[in-house]
Amino acid sequence: MPKYKVRVTEDCIGCQACVATCEENFAMDDNTNKAYPKKKIITDKELEKNNEAKEVCPVEAIKIEND
């Protein structure tokens, strides 16, 4: 089963669009006011929802790569 790495770059502006789209895997860091992935490694089953969060990010700060 393929796995994918999820990360949020420093470009994050804290708009919370990813959290609204995929609260299963994205949350806000209270110290930095930036998003972060709750799970840094996801499966095929989780890929679609995480890709939706990636697509709604206005600054393209979410990166999903093959592990």
9/22 Cα distance (integer angstroms) = 17
Tell which residue, 45, 43, 59, 34, has the closest CA to residue 6.
43
Tokens matching residue 12: 């994050």
1/58 Cα distance (integer angstroms) = 30
Best CATH choice for the domain 3-66 from the list 3.40.50.2300, 3.40.640.10, 3.30.70.20, 3.30.930.10: 3.30.70.20
**pLDDT, position 2:** 83
What φ, ψ does residue 43 adopt, rounded to 5°?
Answer: -105, 175
**pLDDT, position 60:** 98
pLDDT tens string, the chain, 67 residues long: the values are 789 999 999 999 999 999 999 999 999 999 999 999 999 999 999 999 999 999 999 999 999 999 8
Amino acid at 22: C
The model's pTM = 0.94
